[in-house]
Structure 1
Amino acid sequence: MEHHALTHLRDLVVVGGGGAWPPRATYRDSWPRGLRSYDAVYHAMEASFVVAESSVDNAYNRKLIDSFRSRMRSELLHHINLAEVQSTLERAESDPETCPQGAWLGYWLCMSFLRHSYRWGVTPIVSEAQDEQSLEFPEELEVPWRYLQQHFGTTSPGGCMTSLMYANLRPDNCLEYSVTVGMPEDHQSTEFWNTKLIAEMEERVLPMYHHFAHAIAFLDAGDAAAAGAALKSANEILKSAFRFFFSTMVDATLSQEIWLAYVQGYQGWTLGGVDGISGGQSLVFRTLDAFLGIRPFPAPEKEALHLPSAQRAWLDFLRDYDIRATVKEREVGEDVTTQLEALVKQLRLWRMGHMRRMQPYESVRRPERKTMTAGVSVVDASDENQMIEHLKRQLGERLAQTV
């Protein structure tokens, strides 16, 4: 069967994901030789990024941040030949055989970790870094970032769900890069499961994406029964994925005390009015909203900050098709409508459950930093309770739109 829906899904997986979904990154030894030294720089710095106990002394934290950045600049100067990097990236862009998509993804991952660690200077993050209004990055981190933005079609100066999380889970079920090196096992386990949860959700719902694409193709072919069957299968897959989500997002797997400080914090950005990672960047929820016509849709320039072009093309196709409006207009039949409404109901239930489940994670007291979520930067809240009320209002608005 050939259809635009299937073409966009194929592009998402093959072009955007390196042949797999979630994206399949490859690491240092697969990169063009001129780029591999960045991996050495990150590993030279990783153990000094994290601290076991945070300080609330701004002067001390400033010295810590400045020292870390100074050492990274030295490592970059020592290891990186910028002219070689630039020529390597130009060759990679013009000749895909020299740098397959998986290698691009792995290199993007490495550069994202380098930029986020340079941006914060220490993790858990501290208010001294949050207060910064601007930051000049070394050219060794700036020049390749512009090539990465062009290649993936993103505009954010920081990492995103794809570059910091999807690409970080290796085939052997380990993280390629970590911000908890040298920390106790519960810190490393929480970091692992935070990435594993997000990446495995995408793996579990990939068949649902196929059912969505086939449902559209069946509708256009006039086969409402097949479309209804595809949507019924999609509902079953989504139900299983949501069960996995809530069974994993528990304190035994994702420690509440550790998650906020050692996992969520460094994924933020806050410079130049740009936010960091948000759960809303997960493609599964974007896909559900786009497929079901749940508005308002994000502004294209906002979505382009963090979502690669192949992901946006898939979402834009689903929005333009607007299956619920199409079904209503064509008077397709009750079964298709019933299955679509069941998807909406599942998404509403997930959003209600997530609103409750996230509160203990986001409300942990961290006196070394201002109230912040990685996805919405510093929040205008004097304490954690006001912060939770702010988040509940935001999530409540999206829940009200999920109809």
Structure 2
Amino acid sequence: MLSWLFLAWTQPTLDIPSASADILDDPLQHDALTRLRDLVVTGGGGTWPPRATYRDSWALPLRPYDSVYRAMETSFAVAQSSLDNTHNRQLIDSFRSRMRSQLDLHINMEDVRSALEAQSEQSCSQSAWLGYFLCMSFLRHSYRWGVTPIVSEAQNEDSLEFPEQLELPWPYLMRHFGTTSPSGCMTSLMYANMRSDNRLEYSVTVGMPESHRSTEFWNTKLITEMEVRVLPMYHLFAHAIVFLEAGDMIAACDALKSANEILKMALKYFFATMVDSNLSQQIWMAYVQGYQGWTLGGVDGISGGQSLIFRTLDSFLGIRPFPAPEKEALHLPVAQRNWLNFLREYDIRAAVKARGEEGAAITVELEALVKQLRLWRMGHMRRMQPYESVHRPERKTMTAGISVVDASDEDHMIEHLKRELGQRLAQTV
């Protein structure tokens, strides 16, 4: 009887990128490859990085959420921020009031509940789940802030009551993806937002000049393209473990040599792309970084440190300390955590060390990976400073990933961030 609610949640036909297809078609059987396949299938909807599908692939009662966001997106960004708290409170309250009206007008809660219950019981499209996760994350983040660039008037809020239309679906999404945060995450706000035709599905800079749209695009493109470029490296990491366990030291070493080459090219792309002509320093701080924060209930928003590439490198190389499980569960879906935890528990450097002299060549390749990661962290520490030090007087000093920083101005915030990044650099050995 409820089939009309979820018939649209079928698996669409997707062109699977070759690196993802290589993983899915790999005939080798090993726990490392099982975790990696699960990352591609259940973590990404059949590809990594994830390729979401959008409105037309969702159950009918869920599609109006897309309409609500489209109706609100043109009034979220303002060209000039105000320093007047009273004016900002009016902007925030007005935006939230209009979104509540749109939700009341378009969303049938009983049908939404029925669709989500049906979807939870059926074998349906993971790519559609990803698209819906994306839409709900954008709605929740825009409602949370009320205006972008974000302002201290919103940062001052200790708690916020969300409309029931935004609250009811969220536990379903958390259970499905295995996250625990009330906010969006790297997967929902960035990975799932990059379409296969190389544009963003949702935007927070609608109505702004092209420079704003370009900066928002390149911020997401950089993060997702890095995953595209290093997915073969993940595959090689899994192969290195398989070959090492089989005693094939030459094949394990060759896999890591190839992994080093892939990482070198990916990091070169990172620094070549993170330039002002793509990512405007002034615009990034105001229109891209801010809305990805959260700050409610002691929960932070997302940060580049949650990117899977750097978590994978740290996990594979045993760079400690590893994040606390409950903290990582806030923003990383379970398929990503399972992949990372396998690498941590395997501890390839310890396994190679136990082999003595026969593992010497492999150790050289592992140390080369560590060296590249150290060089990236040193370069990133320098490259991020102009972006994070832009003066935004309408808001308290903050980063999206660690909320409000205990710093009186941007210079002090940069010193705080340098200490944080410097500590991680010192641990990268």
For the criterion TM > 0.5, the same-fold answer is yes
Query: What CA distance in whole angstroms lies between the structure 2 residues aligned with 1:14 and 1:103?
Result: 13
Asked if residue 224 in structure 1 is aligned to residue 249 in structure 2, the reply is yes
Asked if residue 315 in structure 1 is aligned to residue 340 in structure 2, the reply is yes
- 1:107 is matched with which residue? 132
Asked if residue 24 in structure 1 is aligned to residue 32 in structure 2, the reply is no
- 1:356 is matched with which residue? 382
Query: What CA distance in whole angstroms lies between the structure 2 residues aligned with 1:301 and 1:63?
Result: 37
Asked if residue 6 in structure 1 is aligned to residue 36 in structure 2, the reply is no
Which one-letter code corresponds to 1:283 in the other structure?
L
Query: What CA distance in whole angstroms lies between the structure 2 residues aligned with 1:47 and 1:39?
Result: 14
- 1:263 is matched with which residue? 288
C-alpha deviations, 1:284-328, integer Å up to 9, x for none? 000000000000011100000000000000000000000001100
Instruction: Report the CA distance between 1:173 and its aligned residue.
Output: 0.2
Query: What CA distance in whole angstroms lies between the structure 2 residues aligned with 1:82 and 1:225?
Result: 59
Query: What CA distance in whole angstroms lies between the structure 1 residues aligned with 2:359 and 2:154?
Result: 57
Instruction: Report the CA distance between 1:329 and its aligned residue.
Output: 1.1
C-alpha deviations, 1:126-149, integer Å up to 9, x for none? 000000000000110001011000
The SS at the match of 2:201 is coil
Which one-letter code corresponds to 2:400 in the other structure?
A
Which one-letter code corresponds to 1:337 in the other structure?
T
The SS at the match of 2:354 is helix
Query: What CA distance in whole angstroms lies between the structure 2 residues aligned with 1:20 and 1:397?
Result: 34
Query: What CA distance in whole angstroms lies between the structure 1 residues aligned with 2:342 and 2:214?
Result: 38
Q: What is the TM-score when the length of structure 1 is the normalising length?
A: 0.99
Asked if residue 148 in structure 1 is aligned to residue 170 in structure 2, the reply is no
Instruction: Report the CA distance between 1:60 and its aligned residue.
Output: 0.3
- 2:63 is matched with which residue? 36
- 2:118 is matched with which residue? 91
Asked if residue 291 in structure 1 is aligned to residue 309 in structure 2, the reply is no
Query: What CA distance in whole angstroms lies between the structure 2 residues aligned with 1:291 and 1:90?
Result: 38
- 1:345 is matched with which residue? 371
- 1:389 is matched with which residue? 415
Which one-letter code corresponds to 1:12 in the other structure?
L
Worse overlay, 36-45 or 325-334: 325-334
Which one-letter code corresponds to 2:401 in the other structure?
G
- 1:159 is matched with which residue? 184
Deviating beyond 6 angstroms after TM superposition, the runs of 4 or more aligned structure 1 residues are none
For 1:127-142, list aligned pairs within 5 A.
127-142=152-167
Query: What CA distance in whole angstroms lies between the structure 1 residues aligned with 2:361 and 2:258?
Result: 13
- 1:177 is matched with which residue? 202
- 2:15 is matched with which residue? none
Query: What CA distance in whole angstroms lies between the structure 1 residues aligned with 2:103 and 2:310?
Result: 38
Query: What CA distance in whole angstroms lies between the structure 1 residues aligned with 2:118 and 2:264?
Result: 45
Instruction: Report the CA distance between 1:224 and its aligned residue.
Output: 0.6
- Gap regions ≥5 residues in structure 2: 1-27
Which one-letter code corresponds to 1:298 in the other structure?
P
Query: What CA distance in whole angstroms lies between the structure 1 residues aligned with 2:110 and 2:178?
Result: 23
Instruction: Report the CA distance between 1:330 and its aligned residue.
Output: 2.1
The SS at the match of 2:42 is helix
Query: What CA distance in whole angstroms lies between the structure 1 residues aligned with 2:76 and 2:87?
Result: 15
Cα RMSD after superposing both structures: 0.5
Asked if residue 203 in structure 1 is aligned to residue 228 in structure 2, the reply is yes
Query: What CA distance in whole angstroms lies between the structure 2 residues aligned with 1:333 and 1:8?
Result: 25
Instruction: Report the CA distance between 1:277 and its aligned residue.
Output: 0.8
Query: What CA distance in whole angstroms lies between the structure 2 residues aligned with 1:355 and 1:12?
Result: 29
Query: What CA distance in whole angstroms lies between the structure 2 residues aligned with 1:278 and 1:182?
Result: 25
C-alpha deviations, 1:217-273, integer Å up to 9, x for none? 000111010000000000000000000000000001100010000000000000001
Query: What CA distance in whole angstroms lies between the structure 2 residues aligned with 1:92 and 1:343?
Result: 42
Asked if residue 15 in structure 1 is aligned to residue 31 in structure 2, the reply is no
Size of the aligned set, in residue pairs, is: 401
Which one-letter code corresponds to 1:251 in the other structure?
D
Q: What is the TM-score when the length of structure 2 is the normalising length?
A: 0.93
> Sequence identity of aligned pairs in percent?
78
C-alpha deviations, 1:112-132, integer Å up to 9, x for none? 000000000000000000000
- 1:50 is matched with which residue? 77
